[in-house]
Amino acid sequence: MEKLLIGTRGSALSIAQTMIAVRKIEQAYPEVKCELVKIKTLNEKIDRSSEKATDKDIYTKEIDIALAEGTIDLAVHSLKDLKNKLAEGIILASVPDRASPFDCIVKGKNFSAKENPIIGTSSIRRKAQISNIAKNAVVKSIHGNVDTRLKALESSEVDALVLASSGISRLGYDVHAEELGVDLMVPAIGQGALAITVKRGNNGILKMMQGISDRKAEAEVMAERAFGRVFGIGCDVPIGALASKDSASGIMTLTGFLSNMEGTKQIKKSLSGNPEDPEGLGNRLGKLVMEEGGDDIIAENQSE
């Protein structure tokens, strides 16, 4: 195989992330050259500010179709954009890289002087946890790519932004960003990780992609995704999870978060276990959260 056609969205961040995967592929397989195929997905065609987009297919559907039709050989995504259940015939083949999984806050010059700072984010998960950062904050929905959101901060439309640390670092932006630990904000499932998907049955490419997977990152996101699957939901409720394998002890700790839309009812639990069974750990934590009131939160969110 001399060339691989790689599907990606066309945003600057998507290209930057895809190039990380390209470098890993070409380093592992010097005889292979990669060619990017930019594919416009639904999220670029709708007005996110006026439409409740609860289906994560808005980021992946067109790329999945290209994989199924064989017009591309593989695709690179932000793993957090993938649905917990992938489209039929599509496989998560590799997690080749994970940058910081945490959220961060980028503050404007007068943030600390504001009694009711306006904090911009489009994520319902972040909105539900904003009060952990500033008790009297006013949340404003800010959609668009990282550039668009930073411009909103520069123009004083908002006093601060909360966004993924990985996006800032991968774009190489020189902004002062303070990372938010899980005590303040539990990140999205799979945040900071890259995902390579392939068509089921394409065993040659599947084997190649497994060869560049980061096993630690792969285990961590398997635990997080298993946690999310317990609830049978996508991005229409505030939910987050973060798994971390301790290099010294070898133990994996998973923190999970679930909230109602207003953030007035929150459950955050942690559980440690065997990293060799990350999905089992995720299932156990998910069931624990359900038993401690998660089922009521799910029912409340679904009735709204």
- Is residue 20 assigned to a domain? yes
Pair 142, 285 in one domain: no
Pair 37, 157 in one domain: no
Model pLDDT, residue 143: 86
CA 188 – CA 163 distance, rounded (Å): 11
Pair 204, 257 in one domain: no
Tally of domains in the chain:
3
- Is residue 187 assigned to a domain? no
Angle between helices 12-28 and 146-154 (to 10 degrees): 140
- Is residue 186 assigned to a domain? no
Model pLDDT, residue 54: 45
Strands 103-107 and 177-180: antiparallel
Pair 163, 296 in one domain: no
Model pLDDT, residue 44: 58
- Is residue 49 assigned to a domain? yes
The domain that holds 3 is classified in CATH as 3.40.190.10
Pair 3, 86 in one domain: yes
Model pLDDT, residue 302: 72
Q: Is the whole-model pTM more than 0.85?
A: yes
CA 252 – CA 249 distance, rounded (Å): 9
Pair 76, 199 in one domain: yes
User: Are 94 and 25 spatial neighbours (Cβ–Cβ below 8 Å)?
Assistant: no
CA 11 – CA 30 distance, rounded (Å): 27
- Is residue 267 assigned to a domain? yes
In the predicted model, residues of the chain with pLDDT beneath 70 are 1, 42-58, 233-235, 303-304
Model pLDDT, residue 236: 73
Model pLDDT, residue 248: 85
The domain that holds 255 is classified in CATH as 3.30.160.40
In this structure, what token pair is assigned to residue 16?
């930057």
Pair 53, 197 in one domain: yes
Pair 30, 136 in one domain: no
Pair 231, 174 in one domain: no
Domain, as residue range, for 225: 215-304
Picking from 264, 271, 185, 267, the residue whose alpha carbon sits closest to that of residue 226 is 271
- Is residue 155 assigned to a domain? yes
Model pLDDT, residue 45: 53
